[in-house]
Structure 1
Amino acid sequence: MEWQAESPELWAFLESLHPGEILSGTVAAIKQFGVFVDLDDGPDHPTLPGVGFISIPELSWRRINSPTDVIEVGQGVSCEFLQFDTYNAEARLSLRALQPDPFQAFADRTVVGQALRGTVVRVLSFGGFVDIGDGIVGLVPFKEVHGRPAAGRPEAFQPGDEISVVVTNVEPLHRRVFLSRPEEM
């Protein structure tokens, strides 16, 4: 469909938006792949439930199981405009861009060697993943990972166990935290 010719008002509205601009609207529909937003200052979309769209990763900094974990139909929202999706003639939006990043806050207040408590959430062949709060999950490697020595034993980890860990590295750029068990330091 040629949106520019089919809906010139919609096209003109979307072209007028600038990345970083804050838009408000109401959640019109929630799908498994994202959320449609009816923008307050925007025209109706001829085929979609709303002219704004938030993809699942842009809903929250935290890992979510479903969009309804953070949002519901009829809810008013303020979002940051990311880009004009010319294929679907919609405004790509971010809800999380207007929220503080819990990983950055963690990185700012955490130092290597700091002891923490956490809950084992997953155990794989190469390491155990430990939730250390605020949705931050760190890795206790069982084998060398990214040049780091092994820092745990698989038999010492069961999902749901509360354990003590020590921060061995924080990589804000890659959003990774490496951990060790205190007795293995």
Structure 2
Amino acid sequence: MNETTPDPLEQLRERLSARPEGEVRTGTVVGFDEQRGVRVRLDGDDPQAPRGTIPRHLLTWAAFEDPSEVVSLGERITAEVQGVDERTGEVALSARACEDEALYRHLCRTRRGDVVTGTVAAVHGFGVFVRLDGEPAHPVHPGTGFVRVPELTWSPIDHPEEVVRPGQRVTGEVIDVDTYQGEVVVSLKALQEDPWDRLALGEGDVTAGPVTKVVPFGVFVRVGEAAEGLVHESCLGGRVVLEGQEMRVRILEIDRRLRRIRLAPAF
């Protein structure tokens, strides 16, 4: 009886399904690639065709000049699967993700939807680092918790320091666990009431609020606790409006799905 020749495409599919993203794999360092990083023969790989690669930036949290300073040929290594090239079967790995065992355990036991509390460790224009209660020390960042700017508050802000300060205690909801950066991504906004739910205004209503921003195409006016609407420049008739000025406006349109309000002056 003739044996059926294995389908190479099916073999590749089986290979990919055996290495989903986030899985931790072990292997042996078999080479260095100046452009791509460290070559790894994962346990179970064909010895003649190692498929694992650790990019330089995912090798370790520590600074280094050459990968050979961090690992050596024949060294056993543990790494997390970051992705798989479906065309070649190449497995992209992160040894950095598993380097700090305490940090990795911390990330693995944290789940989306968890409510966490911590202390603000650093405030930057790009976001806020939080030292979460019970967390291990992060090898690079001042805390394992990170709050992106849009997740700080429902209110419009120019800088995170308007909302939080170092040393402040905060509570938020976990919206992601990022082993790539070694972070627990937290939303403070998720535990706050959405002010749009309390917006009682409707189309045709007249109200007043401060001008929050002047832009080339018009002005934004606050018409609720954290809701702003746009008065287009074509509606201003050449009138000069300054930031902070109180302005009476009429609601022309409210799009709650897109969270947009169109206004006109009610002079």
TM superposition score normalised by structure 1: 0.83
Match of 1:85 in 2: 178
Percent of paired sites with the same residue: 36
Match of 1:63 in 2: 156
1:174 and 1:105 map into 2 onto residues whose CA distance is 16
1:122 and 1:154 map into 2 onto residues whose CA distance is 17
Question: Could you tell me how far 1:156 is from its partner in structure 2?
Answer: 5.4
- When residues 127 and 54 of structure 1 are mapped into structure 2, their CA distance, relative to the original with a 3 A threshold, is same
Which structure's relative contact order is higher, taking Cα pairs within 8 Å and 6+ residues apart?
1
SS at structure 1 position matched to 2:239:
helix
Equivalent residue letter for 2:206:
A
Task: Report matched runs for 1:1-185 at 5 Å.
Answer: 1=60, 2-106=95-199, 109-143=200-234, 151-155=235-239, 157-182=241-266
Contact 1:24 1:39 in 2 (8 A): yes
Equivalent residue letter for 1:117:
A
Structure showing greater Rg: 2
RMSD: 1.9
Equivalent residue letter for 1:176:
R
Q: Specify every segment of 5 or more residues in structure 1 that has no aligned partner in the other structure, as ranges.
A: 144-150
SS at structure 2 position matched to 1:82:
strand
Question: Could you tell me how far 1:154 is from its partner in structure 2?
Answer: 3.2
Contact 1:167 1:178 in 2 (8 A): yes
Q: Give CA deviations for 1:88-137 in whole Å, capped at 9, x if unaligned.
A: 1110111111111223322xx12111110122333444322212242322
Q: Give CA deviations for 1:136-166 in whole Å, capped at 9, x if unaligned.
A: 22112234xxxxxxx4423253434322111
2:246 and 2:123 map into 1 onto residues whose CA distance is 35
Q: Specify every segment of 5 or more residues in structure 2 that has no aligned partner in the other structure, as ranges.
A: 1-59, 61-94
Contact 1:3 1:11 in 2 (8 A): no
Contact 2:211 2:243 in 1 (8 A): yes
TM superposition score normalised by structure 2: 0.60
